[in-house]
């Protein structure tokens, strides 16, 4: 078993090293960093699916929330915007709080028959009240230097602070959605998470005062040195010379990638350590017991819904952290880049391929799938060009097919997912305990 793990990890390393020698080390570490982030996301999903059998189709939303947190924590605050609309924003928040309190209070005192109508009326009234302050506030904020800011900015804290915070924010969203959808049909959770993720993306896309929307937030402060500074600092030039680097700018960008790699690997290691500890603790055993036989566990007095909620929230938190890491690495938040196939379903392929319920498998799955996802494009181009070569350069069909070659990756991911589910449902690194019953249990 451990031999198999070592072998598979070793192979993955070899492939990345080969990329380093054949293409460049910059490319290799570029892929490696995203592999690590993918692995963290896969760990999060594995907690939900592998530990508890929960089908979360909203990974994208929690990742994006993490990204938003990174922006809100690290970007410098826009003073003008706060000055122009701070009061209105505060009043909006006050009205929001007032509405919530009013609803809770009203629900306590009115007779049960009136509960629903009174709640709806109060919510509607509150909604308009908030709108009174909120509308002008957003207009004011968005009109301030729209080409450069037009939003409130962030807290101006170091971006690393955002990583744990992103976990908390995503956990909060996960808690809300879990409270509603857990304990019902299993596929309700899937559909509800699909919905929440679309809404989170919509908020990030359209609430310009908050996130600049489709205008993107760029230039998020880095936790690592900037290339421009590196190439001018003496110690780095000496270091580069020591390693015999031919091009100082290449060396600088490689150095930055290495710094990120170290940070990411530390986060991955911490999360992995907790994940493994949790899995092997009595709590983890109980989770698996619930997953494998929910009714029996419930009959033994386990609060299944509560346990599910715990795992779900933890998994969402991990996805949020990964999202913040990703935005930090990119240095920008681009809401339009969040599409479910890439940020939700791809992560699922990673978990399934790696081995549901096995954390080592999830990490490996994250690495392999991200690698294939990246390399599918050149491969697809090569494949399509080769296949269409007999048609000649002029052929419209050939040009059309080559243009669509990048989408070979969708086909590939579909094929991988279906093949693994069919022929090796336990994945590359199967869960250590007996899971055979879990995959075929009837509902």
Partner 1 sequence: MEILNALALFANFVVVPATAYGAQLALGALGVTLIFGILRFANFAHGELMSFGTMITILVTWFLQNMGVSIAPFPTALLALPIGVLAAISMALVTDRMVFRFYRKQRSNPIVFAIVSVGVMFLIAGIIRIVIGPADQSFADGQRFIIGAFDSRRALGLDEGIAIKQSQVITVVVTAIVVAWLFWFLQKTRSGKAMRAYSDDEDLALLSGINPERVVTICWVIAAALAAIAGTLYGLDKTYKPFIFLQILLPIFAATILGGIGQPVGAILGAFIVAFSEVTVTYAFKKFLAYLGPTDWAPEGLVQLLSTDYKFAVSFIILVAVLLIRPTGIIRGKVI
Q: Give, for 438, the enclosing helix (H) or strand (E).
A: helix 436-440
> Which one of 27-35, 143-151, 261-269, 337-345 is the stretch in contact with partner 1 (CB under 8 A)?
337-345
Residue 205 sits in the site that holds partner 1 (CB under 8 A): yes
Q: How far apart are the first and last CA of the chain?
A: 31
Residue 6 sits in the site that holds partner 1 (CB under 8 A): no
Residue 408 sits in the site that holds partner 1 (CB under 8 A): yes
Of 70 and 417, nearer to partner 1 (C-beta) is: 417
Q: Count other Cβ atoms within 10 Å, centred on residue 160.
A: 18
Residue 126 sits in the site that holds partner 1 (CB under 8 A): no
Q: Binder to partner 1 among 77, 90, 104, 127 (CB under 8 A)?
A: 127
Residue 11 sits in the site that holds partner 1 (CB under 8 A): no
Residue 87 sits in the site that holds partner 1 (CB under 8 A): no
Structure tokens at 395: 């052929």
Q: Binder to partner 1 among 85, 173, 192, 297 (CB under 8 A)?
A: 192
> Which one of 269-277, 321-329, 364-372, 415-423 is the stretch in contact with partner 1 (CB under 8 A)?
415-423
Of 36 and 384, nearer to partner 1 (C-beta) is: 384
How far out from the chain centre does Cα 92 lie? 30
> Which one of 30-38, 50-58, 62-70, 71-79 is the stretch in contact with partner 1 (CB under 8 A)?
50-58
Q: Binder to partner 1 among 411, 433, 434, 436 (CB under 8 A)?
A: 411
Which of 133, 148, 131, 139 is closest to 78 using CA atoms? Answer: 148
The nearest distance, CB 232 to partner 1, in angstroms, is: 42
**What is the distance between the alpha carbons of residues 356 and 339, in angstroms, rounded to a whole number?**
24
Residue 352 sits in the site that holds partner 1 (CB under 8 A): yes
Q: Which residues of 347-379 are buried (b: 16+ CB within 10 A; e: fewer)?
A: bbbbbbbbbbbbbbbbbbbbbbbbbbbbebeee
Q: Binder to partner 1 among 135, 156, 158, 219 (CB under 8 A)?
A: 135
**What is the distance between the alpha carbons of residues 280 and 272, in angstroms, rounded to a whole number?**
12
The nearest distance, CB 199 to partner 1, in angstroms, is: 5
Q: Of residues 225-254, which lie at the interface with partner 1 (CB under 8 A)?
A: none
Burial class (CB in 10 A: 0-12, 13-18, 19+), 185: exposed
Residue 417 sits in the site that holds partner 1 (CB under 8 A): yes
Q: Give, for 217, the enclosing helix (H) or strand (E).
A: strand 217-218
Residue 199 sits in the site that holds partner 1 (CB under 8 A): yes
Which of 33, 32, 56 is closest to 319 using CA atoms? Answer: 56
How far out from the chain centre does Cα 145 lie? 31
Cβ–Cβ < 8 Å for 77, 157: no
Residue 387 sits in the site that holds partner 1 (CB under 8 A): no
Residues in contact with partner 1 by the rule CB under 8 A: 53, 55, 57, 127, 131, 135, 180-181, 184-188, 190-192, 194-196, 198-199, 202, 205-206, 339-341, 345, 348-349, 352, 400-401, 403-405, 407-415, 417-418, 421-422, 425, 439-443
């Amino acid at each position: 078993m451990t031999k198999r793990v070592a072998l598979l990890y070793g192979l993955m390393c070899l492939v990345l090293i080969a990329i380093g020698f054949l293409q460049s080390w910059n490319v290799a570490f570029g892929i490696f960093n995203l592999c690590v982030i993918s692995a963290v996301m896969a760990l999060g999903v594995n907690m939900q699916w592998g530990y508890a059998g929960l089908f979360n189709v909203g990974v994208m939303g929690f990742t994006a929330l993490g990204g938003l947190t990174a922006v809100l924590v690290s970007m410098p605050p826009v003073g003008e915007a706060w000055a122009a609309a701070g009061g209105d924003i505060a009043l909006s928040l006050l009205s929001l709080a007032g509405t919530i309190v009013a609803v809770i209070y009203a629900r306590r005192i009115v007779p049960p028959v009136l509960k629903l109508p009174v709640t709806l009326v109060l919510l509607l009234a509150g909604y308009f009240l908030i709108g009174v302050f909120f509308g002008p506030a957003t207009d004011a904020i968005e009109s301030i230097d729209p080409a450069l800011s037009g939003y409130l900015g962030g807290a101006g804290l170091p971006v690393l602070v955002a990583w744990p915070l992103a976990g908390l924010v995503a956990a909060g969203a996960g808690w809300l959605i879990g409270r509603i959808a857990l304990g019902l049909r299993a596929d309700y959770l899937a559909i509800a998470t699909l919905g929440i993720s679309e809404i989170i993306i919509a908020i990030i896309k359209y609430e310009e005062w908050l996130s600049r929307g489709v205008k993107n937030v760029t230039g998020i402060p880095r936790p690592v040195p900037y290339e421009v500074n590196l190439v001018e600092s003496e110690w780095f030039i000496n270091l580069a010379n020591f390693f015999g680097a031919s091009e100082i700018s290449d060396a600088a960008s490689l150095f930055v990638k290495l710094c990120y790699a170290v940070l990411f690997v530390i986060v991955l290691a911490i999360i992995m350590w907790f994940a493994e500890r949790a899995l092997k603790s009595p709590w983890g055993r109980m989770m698996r017991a619930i997953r494998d036989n929910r009714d029996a566990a419930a009959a033994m007095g386990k609060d299944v819904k509560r346990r599910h909620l715990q795992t779900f929230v933890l998994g969402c938190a991990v996805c949020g952290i990964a999202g913040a890491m990703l935005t930090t690495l990119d240095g920008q938040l681009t809401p339009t880049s969040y599409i479910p196939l890439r940020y939700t379903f791809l992560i699922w392929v990673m978990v399934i391929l790696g081995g549901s319920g096995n954390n080592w498998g999830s990490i490996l799955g994250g690495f392999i799938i991200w690698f294939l996802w990246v390399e599918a494009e050149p491969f697809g181009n090569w494949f399509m060009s080769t296949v269409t070569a007999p048609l000649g350069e002029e052929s419209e069909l050939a040009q059309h097919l080559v243009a669509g070659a990048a989408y070979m990756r969708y086909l590939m991911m579909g094929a991988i997912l279906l093949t693994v589910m069919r022929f090796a449902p336990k994945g590359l690194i199967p869960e250590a305990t007996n899971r055979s019953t879990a995959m075929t249990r009837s509902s």
